[in-house]
Amino acid sequence: MLTARLAWFSRRGKWLIILPPLLFLFVFFLIPFAFALKISFADIAVRVPPFTDILTVGPGSHINLDLNLGNFKYLFSDDVYGLSYLYSLETAFFSTLICLGLGYPMAYAIARTKKSTQSILLLVIILPFWTSFLLRVYALEGIIRESGLLNTALLRLGLIHQPLQIMHTTFAVYLGIIYSYLPFMVLPLFATLEKLDHSLLEAAGDLGSPPWRAFLEVTLPLSVPGIIAGSMLVFIPAIGEFVIPTLLGGPDNLMIGRVLWDEFFGNRDWPVASAVAIAFLVLLVGPIALYQHYSTKQLES
Amino acid sequence: MQARISPLPITILGIGIAILYLPILVLIGYSFNASALVSVWGGFSTQWYTQLLHNDQILDAAWLSLRIGVVVSTLSVLLGTLAAVSLVRFRQFRGRLLLTGMVNAPLVMPEIVTGITQLLLFISMLHLFGWPHRGFTTIVIAHVAFCSAYAAITIQSRLAGADRSLEEAAMDLGAGPVGAFLDTTLPAIAPALISSWLLSFTLSLDDLVISSFVSGPGASTLPMVIFSKVKLGVTPDVNALASLIICAVGACVLLAGYLMQRAERQRNLEIAEAG
């Protein structure tokens, strides 16, 4: 009786567990991309929804497939899109580097403290991540705006005579990204640095290697997995960032997320917005996903 | 181990923590400023908090966001648990690769792309079936789609590390596979269930981009209202609201962390005593 039930369960019953998440994510996460792909081949139209059908059934049951490649051609003809892709890449790359420069010593310092101090410091690093991202970006504005804390302090000290223009500059965008994503860099770095075998460092020291050389030749190479993981966690959300360039950046800081938003809500050109999204996916997200897939596979084997 | 540590990393750690906390502390300070001008300190006042209580737009949005958050995180933990059990316990089934991909994809997918594609789906569905109307339902569906992925990953790692021997013993004693799982493994993965519920709740409560796309007229979540107010300029009542949210979330996370750590210690103790 029991073994029969077990056999039934492992043969059929397991689908009761597998199907709900599989179907839900399939319908509401994967299928939407098919719709975006379809609409990226449509034309803008004055109707609801604002695009033409690419599949129409003509007289005599003719099925017309009307693929409009114009949207993709448009992406290549208008510089805005290409430039904003490159600009997003550049911004994400350099803010990841700065996060690494700041986050590595932080993680290193935490890994070198006592266990009890470690857990408190980790909590201090993680806590901002739980509080609202949008509100933290807004909070940053209170420091760097023209009448904000930084300018007020510098003016009072007499270091400057006119308030610095920090808001709506590229600098503010970098500051926002670093401020928001620094915890993502510190945590994986800490995880690798904490596991580091200290006897290796002692051995290097015993053999007469100065601390900086031991660091460069032992610690740094061994922490590469943490560097990669942390960099990915910063780079990936930074590249599609919308809130930070919109709230803190100026008109020049056209990152791809902002262009997409404007195309959709401002110009209401859904077909072009879909084409931008699809191109974004193929050119930027695809390579990252493939890289992650192969690196985890390599790690497993 | 902590023998020699040069002052440079410690200094940078201090600077880093200051960068993380200074804006939040300044914001909380501003929220008690009697003056509406940020540069002037007009004395201590709680007027912005009182004003908040009379702002129907913000209260409605907060109520909507909380309702969405509770429904989303509950559904996400349910679906996430099922997905985690599927991936950890059933080694081979059709669609395993697909499920793995869909669980991991939201981690690398820019929200703005997810938002646009989901809106296009909802519009086409409404066109074809007359359902769903944009608002509460579509926001919940869109949020569950990414929150359940985060929940699945959190629960998956805990489940993979869980000891199966108790569950097997329960089955040997005559429990069915589902009953054995509920009685033995479920309590062991409970911390992961709680943390993924909290994670889903904060992700849902904080989401601006996806909600903005899939929401319809009349359904503005709290981040949507805050975003539109902030874009217009300095808003002292948002300072008060932000301080409230940040303190409430901070307190909840600390409390949950403390309770979970205590429960974990208790459980380990019991296992040690039994063993």
Q: Which of B10, B112, B227 to mutate to test the interface with A (most CBs of A within 10 A)?
A: B112
Q: Is residue B103 included in any domain, yes or no?
A: yes
What is the domain count for chain B?
1
For residue A56, the model assigns a pLDDT of 67
Q: Does B106 touch chain A (CB under 8 A)?
A: yes
Q: Is residue B197 included in any domain, yes or no?
A: yes
Q: Is residue A54 included in any domain, yes or no?
A: no
Q: Is residue A286 included in any domain, yes or no?
A: no
* CB within 8 Å: A130 and B202: yes
What's the CA gap between B184 and B274, in Å, rounded?
A: 15
Chain B residue nearest residue A135, CA to CA: B242
The two tokens of residue A78 are: 């208008």
B-chain CB neighbours of A102 within 8 Å are 12, 15-16
What is the domain count for chain A?
1
Q: Is residue B230 included in any domain, yes or no?
A: no
For residue A22, the model assigns a pLDDT of 96
Please answer whether residues B200 and B151 qualify as being in contact, where contact means their C-beta atoms are separated by less than 8 angstroms: yes
Residue B80, min C-alpha distance to chain A (Å):
7
Q: Is residue A40 included in any domain, yes or no?
A: no
Per-residue pLDDT, averaged over B2-26, amounts to 86
Per-residue pLDDT, averaged over B125-135, amounts to 89
A-chain CB neighbours of B152 within 8 Å are 21
Per-residue pLDDT, averaged over A225-240, amounts to 92
Residue A97, min C-alpha distance to chain B (Å):
15
Assess whether pLDDT exceeds 80 at residue A298: no
For residue A58, the model assigns a pLDDT of 67
Whole-complex ipTM: 0.90
Chain B residue nearest residue A51, CA to CA: B120
| Domain encompassing residue B190 | 55-225
Per-residue pLDDT, averaged over A110-121, amounts to 89
CATH label of the domain that carries residue B179: 1.10.3720.10
Q: Is residue A288 included in any domain, yes or no?
A: no
pTM for this model (two decimals): 0.90
For residue A300, the model assigns a pLDDT of 64
Q: Is residue A88 included in any domain, yes or no?
A: yes
Per-residue pLDDT, averaged over B170-191, amounts to 88
Assess whether pLDDT exceeds 50 at residue B2: no
Beta carbons within 10 angstroms of residue B157's beta carbon:
13
Q: Is residue B75 included in any domain, yes or no?
A: yes
For residue A79, the model assigns a pLDDT of 84
Please report, in angstroms and rounded to a whole number, the separation of the first and last CA atoms in chain B.
33
Q: Is residue B41 included in any domain, yes or no?
A: no
What's the CA gap between A134 and B145, in Å, rounded?
A: 21
Per-residue pLDDT, averaged over B13-23, amounts to 93
Q: Is residue B272 included in any domain, yes or no?
A: no
Per-residue pLDDT, averaged over A159-182, amounts to 93
Question: Judging by DSSP bridges, how do beta strands A55-57 and A63-65 pair with one another?
Answer: antiparallel
For residue A301, the model assigns a pLDDT of 61
* CB within 8 Å: B5 and A13: no
Q: Is residue A109 included in any domain, yes or no?
A: yes
CATH label of the domain that carries residue A104: 1.10.3720.10
Q: Is residue A136 included in any domain, yes or no?
A: yes
Residue B82, min C-alpha distance to chain A (Å):
5
Assess whether pLDDT exceeds 90 at residue A23: yes
For residue B76, the model assigns a pLDDT of 98
For residue B4, the model assigns a pLDDT of 61
The two tokens of residue A102 are: 């700041």
Residue A61, min C-alpha distance to chain B (Å):
20
* CB within 8 Å: B145 and A29: yes
The two tokens of residue A106 are: 């932080």
Most confident among A5-9, A162-166, A184-188 (mean pLDDT)? A184-188
The two tokens of residue A95 are: 């803010």
Q: What pLDDT, in 10s, does the model give residues A71-87?
A: 888 888 888 888 998 99
| Domain encompassing residue A130 | 77-268
* CB within 8 Å: B249 and A132: yes
For residue B1, the model assigns a pLDDT of 44
